[in-house]
Chain A
């Protein structure tokens, strides 16, 4: 179902920098559609983390940053903290099917060592 591919897991020690990749195709990210990112803490609903490829809502610390290039996007977390342990999902639009079609990434579990 997911047309955006993410690495299943990423880990890092406190204070380190990690990146999460989101790989799409020419019908979604490669077509220029924006990428957004969500953080899902254990047992909670997803929460917006990055919108419009690289913009942060006011409540999100600047340790989180997003970028998009070609058919991929990335989420970087610098100064990793224990509270960052969560699942992260990318989200974009796909034009390969008729009608409206939002798509999500497969999800990446971040573990703080």
Chain B
């Protein structure tokens, strides 16, 4: 049973960048995708983008185009989410999740990583 383990909390200055990692423990990516979702404090869930590591195929939500980059290292079963030009409103918990079972649009997300808090503050 695959588990997704994310990197630890980060504190960043406005204008800087952050990288959050997501490692598949106890399994591999296989043919599935990894999706990234964020949740601002006290707010709902917001989809950011996804990658299918075995294909190298990436999709981004329009809102984050140009500011987010999602990559994956198949050899270590680790996905990465880089967010640049950070602003205080990017303060949120960032989650990765397996994008299951295969091709969009009817995929669901399971399991989820534990979340990574990114705080953007001067």
Contacts and interface: CB of A to CB of B under 8 A. Distances in A.
Q: Do A and B bind each other?
A: yes
A108 B8 CA distance: 28
B122 interface: no
A52 B62 contact: no
Contact of A45 (B35, B63, B105, B113): B113
A1 B47 CA distance: 10
Interface in A53-109: 57, 89, 91, 93, 95, 97-107
B110 interface: yes
A93 to B, nearest CB: 4
Q: Chain A interface: which size bin? A: 20 to 34
A55 to B, nearest CB: 9
Contacts of A97: 62
Interface string B19-35: 00000000000000001
The listed residue with most A CB atoms (<10 A of its CB), out of B105, B107, B115, is B105
Contact of B45 (A52, A89, A98): A89
11 contacts: A33-B105, A46-B37, A48-B108, A89-B45, A97-B62, A99-B59, A100-B61, A100-B104, A103-B47, A104-B37, A104-B47
Given A33-B105, A98-B62, A101-B61, A106 B112 contact: no
Q: Chain B interface: which size bin? A: 20 to 34
Contacts of B59: 99-100
Interface of A: 1-2, 33-34, 36, 38, 45-48, 51-52, 57, 89, 91, 93, 95, 97-107
Contacts, number: 75
A104 B48 CA distance: 11
B77 interface: no
B95 interface: yes
A91 B100 CA distance: 13
A91 B45 CA distance: 9
Interface in B67-122: 95, 97, 104-115
Contacts of B114: 45
The listed residue with most B CB atoms (<10 A of its CB), out of A45, A99, A101, is A45
B89 to A, nearest CB: 12
Given A45-B95, A97-B62, A99-B60, A107 B44 contact: yes
